[in-house]
Structures are given as structure tokens and as C-alpha cells.
């Protein structure tokens, strides 16, 4: 595999684990606020991020690339108001999208069709994650200031269940 592509994928493993850590921190924040549905939603989000990291780990292994695991950064976002994590989440997903696109561009640059095909799933996934983050902000802006609205939204988010990623290697 091209060195630039494998290095970027290796770095992305770390970024995905950081994402899991960030979302777990957000779940932790909501748990402390008594919003267990929001906490559940972000806990599942954290699990999905770990799945993303493991898919990249497995992909590199399957292609004979040695993986180097670096330290995972501490979640460093300031969370005070209930809306803070929602904006942090959207901003973070946009950042991750830019990282995935950069790996895609590097793979395209060297005609690494296998990696391009592997990354197609992530490109689509990022679109969904940005939409989910945006939808949550929209719903909170519409209903979040009303206690009953917040209660119902919390109940809706409590119903989210984890499912393993659809991408199989
Ligand atoms: Fe794995 Fe939310 O990006």
C-alpha cells in the first residue's frame, strides 16, 4: 500500500478512537444532567466510532500493513449548556468528514481502488452522521426549551439501539 495512504489510515484509527472518547464524554455530561436518553444516544455513537476504528485497523491488517497505536487525546471540549455538545458533535463530524475526504483523495491520487472502495462506506456514513447531528440541533431548537418537549425528545433518544456497522471486511 502507498505509504501516504497507509499513514493516513493509521492516523485515522486514532482519530476514530478519539471520537469515541469525545462522545463518551458527551454521554457522561448528559448523564450528569439527568438526560439519560441523550446519554444513551451518545453512548451508542461512541460505540459506532470504536467500530469505525476497528474497521480501519482490520483493513490495514488485511492488507499487510503494520498498525501503530498512539495515545488517545483527552476530550477537551467545554460542555456547559445542553446545546453545547450538540454543536460540538456537528462541528466534529464535519472535521472527520474532511479527514475521510483527505484519505480518499490520497488513495485516488495513487489509483488505490481497493482503498477507495473501502472508504466509500465511510463517505456515506459521514453524510449520515452530519445529518443526524444537524437534525438533533434542529429538534432541540424547536422543542428543547419546553420541558415537555425536552422530556419527549429524551424519550425518543432513549429508544436508540446499537447495531453493528453494515460494512463487512
Ligand atoms: Fe467515525 Fe463519526 O466518524
Write out pLDDT tens, residues 98-136: 999 999 999 999 999 999 999 999 999 999 999 999 999
Q: What average pLDDT does the segment 13-41 reach?
A: 98
Q: How far apart are CA 107 and CA 83, in angstroms?
A: 37
Q: SS in 3 state form for 13-58?
A: HHHHHHHHHHHHHHHHHHHHCCCHHHHHHHHHHHHHHHHHHHHHHH
Atom of ligand 1 minimally distant from the CA of 97? 3
Residue with CA closest to ligand 1 atom 1: 49
Q: What is the pLDDT of residue 169?
A: 87
Amino acid at each position: 500500500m502507498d505509504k501516504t495512504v497507509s499513514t493516513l489510515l493509521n492516523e485515522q484509527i486514532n482519530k476514530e478512537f478519539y471520537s469515541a472518547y469525545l462522545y463518551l464524554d458527551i454521554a457522561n455530561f448528559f448523564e450528569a444532567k439527568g438526560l439519560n436518553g441523550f446519554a444513551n444516544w451518545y453512548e451508542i455513537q461512541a460505540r459506532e466510532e470504536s467500530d469505525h476504528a476497528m474497521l480501519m485497523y482490520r483493513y490495514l491488517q488485511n492488507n499487510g500493513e503494520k498498525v501503530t497505536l498512539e495515545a488517545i487525546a483527552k476530550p477537551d471540549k467545554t460542555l456547559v449548556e445542553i446545546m453545547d455538545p450538540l454543536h460540538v458533535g456537528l462541528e466534529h463530524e464535519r472535521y472527520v468528514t474532511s479527514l475521510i475526504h483527505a484519505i480518499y483523495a490520497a488513495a485516488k491520487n495513487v489509483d488505490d481502488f481497493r482503498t477507495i472502495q473501502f472508504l466509500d462506506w465511510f463517505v456515506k456514513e459521514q453524510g449520515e452522521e452530519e445529518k443526524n447531528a444537524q437534525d438533533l440541533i434542529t429538534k432541540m431548537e424547536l422543542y428543547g426549551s419546553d420541558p415537555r418537549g425536552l422530556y419527549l425528545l429524551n424519550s425518543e433518544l432513549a429508544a436508540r439501539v446499537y447495531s453493528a456497522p453494515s460494512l463487512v471486511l
